[in-house]
Structure 1
Amino acid sequence: MQSILRHAQIGSGVVLLTYLFLHLVNHALGIWSLDLAGHGLTLAIRLWHSTPGTILLYGSAALHFSLALRTIYGRRRWVLPATEWIRIWAGLSLPLLLIRHVVATRLAASLYGFEPDYEKIVVTLISSGTQGLQLALLAPGWVHGSLGLWIRFGHYDPVRRAKPALIAVLAGLPLLSAAGFLHMTRTVEKMRPILPAPDPKLLAHQVALDAWRHDLLTLYVSLVVGALVAGQLRNRVERRGLRNTSLDA
């Protein structure tokens, strides 16, 4: 059973890391032009908004999160190496950033017919003052996934020999992504000195989207805290049982 769960965790993590990789690449294409990044976004939407892509992506996200909750609940000791703490922090912080993005794009598209493109996304982010959030959005997930694969496969000789190249990709791709997004932002600002209002569909349903965002964040935090508290209570009960057993003996 443990082997099956470990393979499920790795498989779902690879799917999510692939999604992040393509997203980072899309942003990096903005270094060359807004149009090129737009073509990349169109291909990504066709992939992930298709029925198989949706099932694969959100099924992997649900599975990976469920296994993370199981790990949090089942952990007996929290004395961990620094690398593991960084991986845990990155993994748990990603949904806090990503929920806002998913609600404003995927949910808005599925529920209210919003058609995302980079110009609309940039205008919305500038209007709301959340450009920095967009730059920080994908980095935690990228770090979490990369460290997870390194912890799992880093002991193999071919992987260890490729370590310098892997570090270059780990650090370089988010930097290129940030540079691409900043270039797209400057391009939009030059094209439109007076920014248009955000998409009317987003404005019309802003209250509903904010409610979705609040509810999803509340659910996420409640599940993580609940798993942690339940695990600590279980540990305390087990320790008390062991002490009572030793005293009886």
Structure 2
Amino acid sequence: MLPVLRRLQLGSGVVLLIYLFFHLVNHALGIWSLDLAGRGLTFALWIWHSVPGTILLYGAALLHFALAVRTIYGRRHWALPPAEWIRLWAGLSLPLLLIRHAVTTRLAASLYGFEPNYERIVISLITSGTQGLQLALLAPGWIHGCLGVWFRLRHYPAAQRARPALLALLVVLPLLSAAGFLRMKRAVIAMHVFLPAPDSKLLAHQLALDTWRHSLVTLYLAVVVSALLAGLLRNWLERVHRLPTGE
């Protein structure tokens, strides 16, 4: 059973890592031009907003999350090495990015006809003051995915030989992504004397979208905390039952 679960965890994690790779590359294309980044976004949306892409992405996200909750609940101790703590922290931040993405792009597009492009996305992030959050959530998810794949492949000689290149990719791609996003931000600001309001469809349904986002984030945090507390309670009860009793 455990080998099957590990394969499912790795497979779903690889899907999410590919999604993050496209996301980071799209941002990095902004270093060259807003138009090039927009073409990359169109290609990514064609993949992930298709029926197979939707099933693959959100199915992988739900499966990976379910397995993560199972792991949190099943842990017998929390004396972890630093790399595992970094991986855990980075992994727990990834659903926050996916929830924001699902609500502000996919849900807004499906329910209200919002058609995302980088100019609209950048304007929305600037006016809402969440551009820093967007960058802050991308990097931890990328780190979590890369560390997860590395922990599974590090015993292979080919992986050890590729280690310098993989480390460079781990560090450089988020930096290029941040640089591309900041370049796009400057380009959008330069295009307008006064920064326009976000897309009217988003503004009209902002309250509903915020409610969806807050509800999903609350549900996510409640599930994670519940799994952690339930696991700690189980561990404590097992220790109590193992204690010797006096005459």
Alignment partner, residue 60 of structure 1: 60
CA contact 1:28–1:181 (8 Å) conserved in 2: yes
Q: Which amino acid aligns with 1:190?
A: A
- Alpha-carbon offset, residue 139 of structure 1: 0.4
Equivalences for 1:170-249 in 2 at 5 Å?
A: 170-243=170-243, 246-247=244-245
TM-score, structure 2 normalization = 0.97
Q: Which amino acid aligns with 1:86?
A: I
Alignment partner, residue 21 of structure 1: 21
Which segments of 5 or more consecutive residues in structure 1 lack a partner in the other structure? none
Deviations 1:137-187 (A, max 9, x none): 210110000011111111211111111111100000001111111111111
For 1:161 and 1:237, the matched residues in 2 are separated by 46
CA contact 2:93–2:137 (8 Å) conserved in 1: no
Alignment partner, residue 86 of structure 2: 86
Q: Which amino acid aligns with 1:247?
A: T
* Secondary structure at the counterpart of residue 123 of structure 2: helix
Q: Which amino acid aligns with 1:37?
A: A
Which segments of 5 or more consecutive residues in structure 2 lack a partner in the other structure? none
Q: Percent identity of the aligned residues? A: 70
RMSD: 1.3
Matched, 1:137 2:137: yes
For 2:126 and 2:30, the matched residues in 1 are separated by 16
- Alpha-carbon offset, residue 201 of structure 1: 0.5
Which moves more between the two structures, 158-167 or 234-243?
234-243
- Alpha-carbon offset, residue 55 of structure 1: 0.3
Q: Which amino acid aligns with 1:109?
A: A
Alignment partner, residue 6 of structure 1: 6
* Secondary structure at the counterpart of residue 55 of structure 1: helix
For 1:101 and 1:137, the matched residues in 2 are separated by 11
Which moves more between the two structures, 60-69 or 90-99?
90-99
For 2:246 and 2:73, the matched residues in 1 are separated by 29
For 1:68 and 1:130, the matched residues in 2 are separated by 27
- Alpha-carbon offset, residue 208 of structure 1: 0.4
* Secondary structure at the counterpart of residue 247 of structure 1: coil
Alignment partner, residue 113 of structure 1: 113
- Alpha-carbon offset, residue 134 of structure 1: 1.8
CA contact 1:98–1:137 (8 Å) conserved in 2: no
Alignment partner, residue 160 of structure 1: 160
CA contact 1:127–1:198 (8 Å) conserved in 2: yes
CA contact 1:12–1:63 (8 Å) conserved in 2: yes
Moved over 6 A (4+): none
CA contact 2:16–2:61 (8 Å) conserved in 1: yes
- Alpha-carbon offset, residue 20 of structure 1: 0.2
Deviations 1:66-104 (A, max 9, x none): 000000000000001000000000001222344233311
CA contact 1:90–1:141 (8 Å) conserved in 2: yes
- Alpha-carbon offset, residue 129 of structure 1: 1.5
For 1:136 and 1:101, the matched residues in 2 are separated by 14
- Alpha-carbon offset, residue 247 of structure 1: 3.5
- Alpha-carbon offset, residue 128 of structure 1: 1.1
For 2:19 and 2:168, the matched residues in 1 are separated by 19
Q: Which amino acid aligns with 2:130?
A: T
For 1:96 and 1:174, the matched residues in 2 are separated by 17
